[in-house]
Amino acid sequence: MGTPVLRPELILFDLDETLLPTAALVEARHSGVSQSLGAVPAYSTIDLHVGIDTVVRDLITIARVGVVSSSPRWYVDQVLADHLNGIDFSVVVTYDDVTHIKPHPEPLLTALTLARVDIEAAVYVGDALVDWEACAAIGMTFFAAGWANGAAFPEEVRVLEDPDELLRMLGAAGG
C-alpha cells in the first residue's frame, strides 16, 4: 500500500540544516550583530543540500512555500537571496517576528496567520526535535529532514530520506 498523496496549501521549511548545512555559521548567526555573511569565511563553502533547489522550485507549482526559522531576519534574508534566489516565498518568519521561538508553536502559528492557512492545510519540514515539538503542540503535520543528519525522532515521526521523497509524497511534478 503506497503513501497517501497529501495536497497541502502551504509547505513550510526550517532553514538551518534542513535546507542547507549551516553549523559553521552558528557564531555569526547568534552574534546579535547584523553582518554580511560574505565576510564570514565558512559561508563560501556552504551550499544547499542535494536536491533542495529543485524540490522547492517544484513544490511552488503545487502549493505555497514558506520558511520558519529561529534565526534572525538579516541572516535568513541573506541565505535565501544567495541560495534560493528567485523563489517567491509566501511567508518567511524569523526570530525577529515572534516573542517565543521553537519549540513554542508561535513561529508556526504566525506563518499560518500571515499566509491565511489553517493548521490542517499546512506541513512543516525540519531537522530538529524543536521543529517536531512545535508542530505537535498544535497538531500540524511534520516531516523530518532525514538528509540533514538531525535529531533522533520518536517512532511516529515520518523521516524523509531525501528531498525528492517529499515531492513524491505530495505528488509534485518533478517527483
Per-residue pLDDT at 171: 73
Query: Could you give the C-alpha distances from 79 to 6, 30, 31, 106, in angstroms and in order?
Result: 28, 15, 16, 22
Assigned domain for 30 exists? no
Q: How many domains does the chain have?
A: 1
CA torsion, ordered 78, 54, 46, 24, to nearest 10 deg: 80
Range of the domain at 139: 10-20+48-170
Cβ(12)–Cβ(68) below 8 Å: yes
Assigned domain for 65 exists? yes
Assigned domain for 59 exists? yes
Assigned domain for 62 exists? yes
Residue-level pLDDT, tens digit, the chain, 175 residues: 344 447 899 999 999 999 999 999 999 999 999 999 999 999 999 999 999 999 999 999 999 999 999 999 999 999 999 999 999 999 999 999 999 999 999 999 999 999 999 999 999 999 999 999 999 999 999 999 999 987 899 999 999 999 999 999 887 654 4
Per-residue pLDDT at 175: 46
Assigned domain for 29 exists? no
Assigned domain for 130 exists? yes
Assessment of whether the complete model's pTM goes beyond 0.85: yes
Assigned domain for 105 exists? yes
Domain at 156, CATH number:
3.40.50.1000
Assigned domain for 2 exists? no
